[in-house]
Structure formats: C-alpha cells, structure tokens
Structure 1
Amino acid sequence: MKYMKFFLFVSCFFLLMACGTTNNGATNGGTGSDQDDPAQEEEGVKDLTGHIVSIDGNRILVTGENAHNSVSATWYTIDDNTLITLASGREPGIVLQVGMKVETWNTGIVLESFPSQASAVKIIVDDSQPLKEREAIEQALSEVDPSQPWLVATVEEEGDMYKVTLKNLLSDDEEVEIEVKVE
C-alpha cells in the first residue's frame, strides 16, 4: 500500500511538471521567451498587390488583390522600420507616389474596418512599371472623389493616351473610364 501511494504521488508530480514545461524556445531561437522569432516579425505577412491610390502623411492607401485573390483596400502606416525597396532589389531613397504598383507586407495585425488599417513592414515597388503608366493613374485618380477607395482595374496604352479604368470599392456603380494624355 505504501508503494501504491508513493507511485501515485510521483506520477502526479511528473504529470504536473510536464504540464508546466515549454518547448525550450524551439520556435524562437532557443531564447526560452514567449516572443516570436524577431526575423519572422521583420518579414511580416504578405498582404496586397496593387496600386497606391492615396497618400496622407505617413500613410498610404493601397487597393488591389490580397493573398486570397479577392479585392481589398488597406491604409498602411509607414514608420522608420518599414523597408521600402524595388522589386529588382535595389534600395535607393524611394519616394512613394500615387499610381505606383506595389506589393505590401504588414505585421499580421489588421484593423478590420473598410478600408482596413495595418502597419507596413515592407513595401516592394514594381520598378518595371512604366513611368507614364504611373503618371496616367495619378492623373485619373485626381479626377475622381479622393475620399473614396478606388481600385485601378485596368490601364491601357493607346498611342499617346492612356485609358484608366477605376472601380469604387464602396459602390456598386459602373466602372469609370478616364482617358488621360501623359507627356
């Protein structure tokens, strides 16, 4: 009977000890802390691929397709930790502009409003986008209500003119086609 009580006590002790152990930081570089791997935090979560349709101080509004191939809009806050680079890998002093085609990465925390809001971890600018196309998108967006989240649906070059098709993401109205001349 003594052995039975002792065995039961030791078993309960080991069971309680096993419940309180961690994985020794296997996912966080062996630090033993509950924090995620800093390298993973810097990488972020891939979010939208689309166009910058508005800039407000340290925030940009990007509309485009998300990782689930659905159309969305997100205001990204840019801070000193945001990596802004070109798709070709070069990292000169990039100034973000309306009309630029970008790929965005966020911290994984997204405020579910519309447009949603997130902190940008990384912004990759598509440097294969022709300058005149970016300027055409910027001109077209200047002709519509700037308070609305506009999706750049298509951009077609027609000689010295561009036809930019915009879709208001807050409305079921028809798409708006705007022809602009870029010099």
Structure 2
Amino acid sequence: MRNFTLVSVLILFLMLALAGCSSFGQADLTKAKTGYITDIDDQRILVNDTYFTASSNVKVVSDTGKRMNFSDLDIGVQVEPWFDGAIRESFPAQADVKKIVVIVDKDDKQVQDAVKAIVEYSEANYGKPVVFQASKRTEELFEATIAGLTLENPNPVTIRYDFATQQIEVE
C-alpha cells in the first residue's frame, strides 16, 4: 500500500510538472502596447511602431469575447496585440502576433474615421508607413504624434482631427 501511495504521488507530481511546461496558450504570450492600426495587408498590421505578422491561425477576438476574423480588422481599429518570441529590431519593428484583441468602444466609428483621416493625410504629406508615437482623444478631437520617417521630415509631427469640422490641423 505504501508503494502505491508513493507511486501515485510521484505520478501526480510528474503530471503537474509537465502541465506547467506546456508551450501552448496565452501564458507564453507577451502583450504589446494597445494602439490603433495604421497599416494593414493580408498578413500583418502596423500598431504603434511594430508590424505584427499574423499566421493563418491567429486568434482575433473583441474585448467582450466575440470571435472575429483577421479580415474584420481595418485602419483605425484599436487593438491589443499579443505576440511570442522576440521583437525583431528594425523600423518599424517586427513581431509574430498570435492573438489580437479588438478594443470595443462606443465612439469606435468617430475615432476610426479620425485615425483614417490622419493616416491618409500623413501618407500624402510624409510618406509610409505612418507610425503613431502617441495618441489621445478628447471630446472635441483626436490627436496623434507620428514619427518622422524621411530626411525631409525627420522630426515627429503632431496632427489633430476635429470631430465637429472633420478637419486636419498640423502642429
């Protein structure tokens, strides 16, 4: 009986140890800074200063738990990317995204329109990619500071979008 108890304890301990070594799941993922998508193609999104490359099995969900698809994403959508592995150093940086949480807000459409307008203005006047270094929203406007990306425009630029007039203002 004593040998049976000892074997049972050892098996239980081994099972717990192996369960803790599992490399599948969110526990191994790193949460990146929440931000707005400013560029998107079939397999990647640009959020803040990082391109996140998605595999075909990337998990996309809303912050309310609703399952979504990568094809539901668009410029201006606020997301929280989760990635694994190292961030590859470049500008913008690069990482492999495993999970994308879409932040749902009552003002989604208004903010998404503002981000799209700022991205369109920035691409036309400063080039691609449009890298948001900072952003903030007030009742009246959405403001984004974009990174300077060219020799002609090496310094960050702050761009405001007025919700009432739908006009762009550059600081």
Q: TM-score, normalised by structure 1?
A: 0.65
Q: Does 1:175 align with 2:158?
A: yes
User: Cα gap change, 1:163/1:107 in structure 2, threshold over 3 Å: closer, same or farther?
Assistant: closer
Secondary structure, in 3 states, of the residue corresponding to 2:32? strand
Secondary structure, in 3 states, of the residue corresponding to 1:97? coil
Q: Does 1:96 align with 2:73?
A: yes
2:44 partner amino acid = R
User: Cα gap change, 1:41/1:86 in structure 2, threshold over 3 Å: closer, same or farther?
Assistant: closer
User: Cα gap change, 1:27/1:52 in structure 2, threshold over 3 Å: closer, same or farther?
Assistant: farther
* Unpaired segments ≥5 residues, structure 1: 1-23, 31-35, 64-72
Identity %: 24
Secondary structure, in 3 states, of the residue corresponding to 2:33? strand
* Map of 2:113 onto structure 1: 135
> Rg bigger for which structure?
1
Secondary structure, in 3 states, of the residue corresponding to 2:56? coil
Deviations 1:140-183 (A, max 9, x none): 2111125134215223342xxx443332265433423344629x
Distance 1:46 1:140 in 2: 26
Tell me if the contact between 1:154 and 1:166 (Cα under 8 Å) persists in the aligned partners: no
Aligned counterparts, 1:77-92, within 5 A:
77-92=53-68
Distance 1:27 1:50 in 2: 37
User: Larger % of helix: which?
Assistant: 2
How well do the aligned residues superpose, as a CA RMSD in angstroms? 2.9
* Unpaired segments ≥5 residues, structure 2: 1-13
* Map of 1:56 onto structure 2: 41
Aligned counterparts, 1:16-165, within 5 A:
27-29=17-19, 36-40=21-25, 43-63=28-48, 73-93=49-69, 95-128=72-105, 130=107, 131-145=109-123, 146-151=127-132, 152-158=134-140, 162-165=141-144
